[in-house]
Structure 1
Amino acid sequence: MSQPGDPYPNQPQQPYGEQPAPQQGGYPPAGQPYGAPLPPAPKKSKTGKIVLIVLAVVLVLCCGGGAITWFAVKDDVSDAVEATNTRVTAPATLAGRPKATEPELQAVVDGMIAEMKSTVQNETSTAGAVYGDPAKKDLVMIAAASGLVTDPKKELDEAFSGPDLTMSNVAAVDPGPLGGEARCGDSESEGIKLGICAWADKGSVGMIVMYFKTGAQAKAEFVTMRGQIEQRS
């Protein structure tokens, strides 16, 4: 039944929390915020399909649940200054890897950026991209946003305790010259190893996911990659 003020009063209303049925030839929307379906994978590439599914799962981890409250107002001048001077960007290359050009991957990235902009409050910049070559099992995804972060430790706690990915061997790591807190750990989805590192400081939150790699391998490149994503003036 439509409610007063509904923009489309004659449209059938879907019960809250109910996801639409999977579409033939595409992906089921489970795990994708708001039920938005992912684009179909190329039929010739099973790896491409798996990567897209994993990307969607990580997107939920990054942009759903607690991440909606990443950036809340806090009366702390030093924190506000750091946040104001912090931006994130998707560089042309990441630790020597070019941006991936596969249309299916780009479609997921575009959806990820749109979702981050719609759910992260008071953000000043967002960055999302995929780098490397899936055929060589060298693929990296980044997702980051800048803005005032009131509790960096809490953000990392929520990132690594989400229900969508089972993490193991999670440990604090050197955050690098940009400071804040950082952790890396291992995960797996659809038989693919995932090395995941995330950081949080007073001006940004970000995650780096290395497919087909371990958390230790992600840690080895984390500081370099973060330095290319996060910029502070």
Structure 2
Amino acid sequence: MTQPPYPGQPGPDPTGGYQPPAAPGQPAYPQPDSGAGYPPPGQGGYPQPDQGGYPQPDQGGYPPPGQGGYPPPGQPGFPPPGQPGLAPQFGAPAPKKKSSALKIVLISVAAILVLCVGGVVAFGFFAKDKFNEAKEQVDNVVAASKITVVEPQTLAGRDKVTDPSLAGSVDALDSEMSKISGTTSSVGAMYGDPAKQDLVMIAAASTLQGSEQGRFDEFTKGMSQGGFSVEGLKDTDPGPLGGIAKCGDTSAAGVPTAVCVWSDKGSVGMVAMLFKKSADLEKEFVTMRGQIELKQS
């Protein structure tokens, strides 16, 4: 005896039990000759392993590598390394291009090297000085022998310039100064940070030839004849090392440059400060010279 359905509840299916959807190609409802109830194996109901349900590895669901989902490198979606959209990958950064400031410095340094230092070497014949007496010449040589010039590790708080682009110019500075007649020691170096427009060049030599005044005159004359004209050279404090010291202003390839030159009984040298005025250089000149020139007591 069956219980009648509750109000609103459908009655039993007169054709038999629940019929799940048939397999593809089969009719939705069993044919009259197939009988009611659950279909035989291979037809409707729970699918066989090669049919619907949980997909085989080569069907839908989680895609195999190379298909949908997160694309492999080079496919649309997340770009491969070096493409727009993602931050640069870890590794060696691309070489930096030379900044415009460094290019200007390179041109300016080359101008100072060729026009100023080159002119001094070409025209500075310190041996032409005439001494009034033989004793004066002997005294000058004795005093000169106690003086030498060195390349300090730092210059007034500035580190040496290590940029490889300027290495050749640094070597050339020292090489040119060593050609001065009677040289016993020479130095050429650069200090500071070109990117911050803080760059100082030094070029100096100790020599046994020439007098204090004659050496200064020949050095500045060589600068001028080389094409490196310093305007407004005026006396400045030479510091405890004594001798003659003057500072002025010039321009190196369009860059304002302050220049101070000194000469004493055994040395001659120049300090050039790019991007600055002579008033700025004078504030540090005595300190810088004291780190470059050494004198035995």
Secondary structure class of the residue paired with 1:51:
helix
The Cα of 1:96 is off from its aligned counterpart by 0.4
* C-alpha distance in structure 2 between counterparts of 1:201 and 1:63, whole Å: 21
* C-alpha distance in structure 1 between counterparts of 2:290 and 2:100, whole Å: 33
Secondary structure class of the residue paired with 2:241:
coil
1:180 corresponds in structure 2 to 243
**Unaligned ranges ≥5, structure 2:** 1-95
Secondary structure class of the residue paired with 1:120:
coil
1:57 counterpart = 2:111: yes
- Give the alignment's TM-score, normalised by structure 2: 0.59
Q: Assess, with a 3 A threshold, how the Cα gap between structure 1 residues 227 and 219 changes in structure 2: closer, same or farther.
A: same
2:146 corresponds in structure 1 to 85
The Cα of 1:86 is off from its aligned counterpart by 0.5
* Higher Cα radius of gyration: 2
2:102 corresponds in structure 1 to 48
1:70 counterpart = 2:131: no
* C-alpha distance in structure 2 between counterparts of 1:152 and 1:55, whole Å: 27
* More off after superposition, 152-161 vs 168-177: 152-161
The Cα of 1:208 is off from its aligned counterpart by 0.2
Q: Which gives a bigger RCO, structure 1 or 2 (Cα 8 Å, sep 6+)?
A: 1
Secondary structure class of the residue paired with 1:124:
strand
The Cα of 1:71 is off from its aligned counterpart by 5.1
**Unaligned ranges ≥5, structure 1:** 1-41
Q: Assess, with a 3 A threshold, how the Cα gap between structure 1 residues 158 and 121 changes in structure 2: closer, same or farther.
A: closer
- Show CA shifts across 1:37-64 (max 9, x none): xxxxx95223223222222222231243
Secondary structure class of the residue paired with 2:183:
coil
Aligned residues of 1:195 and 1:218 also touching (Cα < 8 A) = yes
1:39 corresponds in structure 2 to none
- Give the alignment's TM-score, normalised by structure 1: 0.75
Q: Assess, with a 3 A threshold, how the Cα gap between structure 1 residues 157 and 80 changes in structure 2: closer, same or farther.
A: closer
AA matched with 2:205? A
1:215 counterpart = 2:278: yes
The Cα of 1:139 is off from its aligned counterpart by 0.6
Percent of aligned pairs sharing the same letter: 46
Instruction: Choose the corresponding residue for 1:170, options 222, 233, 236.
Output: 233
- Count of aligned pairs between the two proteins: 190
Which structure: greater strand fraction?
1
1:23 corresponds in structure 2 to none
1:154 counterpart = 2:214: yes
Provide the aligned C-alpha RMSD in A. Answer: 2.0
* C-alpha distance in structure 2 between counterparts of 1:84 and 1:172, whole Å: 26
- Show CA shifts across 1:18-49 (max 9, x none): xxxxxxxxxxxxxxxxxxxxxxxx95223223
* C-alpha distance in structure 2 between counterparts of 1:71 and 1:176, whole Å: 26
* C-alpha distance in structure 1 between counterparts of 2:195 and 2:238, whole Å: 30
AA matched with 1:171? K
Aligned residues of 2:109 and 2:252 also touching (Cα < 8 A) = no
Q: Assess, with a 3 A threshold, how the Cα gap between structure 1 residues 84 and 209 changes in structure 2: closer, same or farther.
A: same
